[in-house]
């Protein structure tokens, strides 16, 4: 991810500007709708990010597109802010980071959980209870399948990884045997 500090800054700023879950859903959907168009149209992306296009023309292009998409005032202000600061190219990463920023803003800790096979609802619930007891805060899981895992889980919180996979256990055993 390029320019992680800026991405987090903008995602956190947008999350703080949202009042509740309903508004988060609406504004998030509006920003994602614009992002889909932005990614799918090379001409639009070039027009909005090229240093060779006049800033007023870029703003006029954005002002023409946003009402057509039905973008509300908060999402429009956010997208115009990105355009004005020449940060629209960071929108894919900002959109990807927004759910994490929203959860953190609400005091919820996010864990990314990778497993070889999808976890059952009971396994997910047991994992959530265990992590909430450890954190003392609500926990949200982002589940991913990783066929490369032989078994077990890999749980990530930010930059910290808890490797409870078979491969991780074998690696730890190998390290202990190497030290002996």
**What are 101's two structure tokens?**
């920023």
Count of CB atoms within 10 A of residue 88's CB?
A: 21
Count of CB atoms within 10 A of residue 47's CB?
A: 17
What is the mean pLDDT of the segment spanning 54-76? Answer: 95
Give the max Cα distance, the chain.
Answer: 69
pLDDT at 82: 97
Q: In sequence order, what DSSP letters do the residues of 16-80 get, joined into one string?
A: HH--SHHHHHHHHHHHHHHHHHHHH-HHHHHHHH-TTS-HHHHHHHHHHHHHHHT--HHHHHHHH
- Where does the pLDDT of residue 153 fall: very low under 50, low under 70, confident under 90, or very high at 90 and above? confident
DSSP structure class, residue 136: S
Contacts of 115 (CB under 8 A, 6+ apart): 143, 144, 145, 146, 149, 152, 153, 154
- Where does the pLDDT of residue 160 fall: very low under 50, low under 70, confident under 90, or very high at 90 and above? confident
The Cα 140–Cα 111 span in angstroms is: 6
Q: Report the range out of 79-83, 143-147, 164-168, 174-178 with the highest average pLDDT.
A: 79-83
The ranges assigned to domains in the chain are 4-104, 107-179
The dihedral over CA atoms of 147, 175, 113, 161, expressed in degrees to the nearest 10, equals -140
What is the mean pLDDT of the segment spanning 147-176? Answer: 75
pLDDT at 179: 74
Looking at every residue in the chain, the average pLDDT score rounds to: 89
The Cα 3–Cα 87 span in angstroms is: 10
């Amino acid at each position: 991810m390029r320019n992680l500090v800026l991405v987090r800054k903008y995602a956190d700023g947008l999350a703080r500007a949202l009042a509740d879950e309903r508004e988060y859903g609406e504004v998030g959907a509006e920003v994602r709708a614009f992002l889909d168009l932005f990614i799918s149209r090379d001409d639009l992306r070039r027009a909005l990010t090229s240093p060779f296009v006049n800033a007023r023309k870029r703003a006029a292009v954005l002002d023409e597109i946003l009402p057509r998409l039905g973008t509300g005032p908060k999402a429009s202000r956010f997208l115009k802010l990105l355009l004005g600061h020449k940060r629209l190219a960071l929108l894919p990463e900002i959109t990807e980071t927004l759910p994490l920023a929203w959860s953190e803003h609400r005091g919820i800790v996010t864990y990314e959980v990778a497993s070889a096979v999808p976890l059952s609802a009971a396994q997910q619930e047991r994992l959530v209870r265990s992590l909430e007891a450890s954190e003392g805060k609500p926990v949200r899981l982002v589940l991913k399948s990783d066929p490369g895992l032989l078994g077990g889980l890999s749980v990530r919180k930010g930059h910290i990884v808890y490797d409870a996979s078979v491969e991780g256990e074998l690696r730890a055993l190998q390290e202990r045997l190497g030290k002996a």
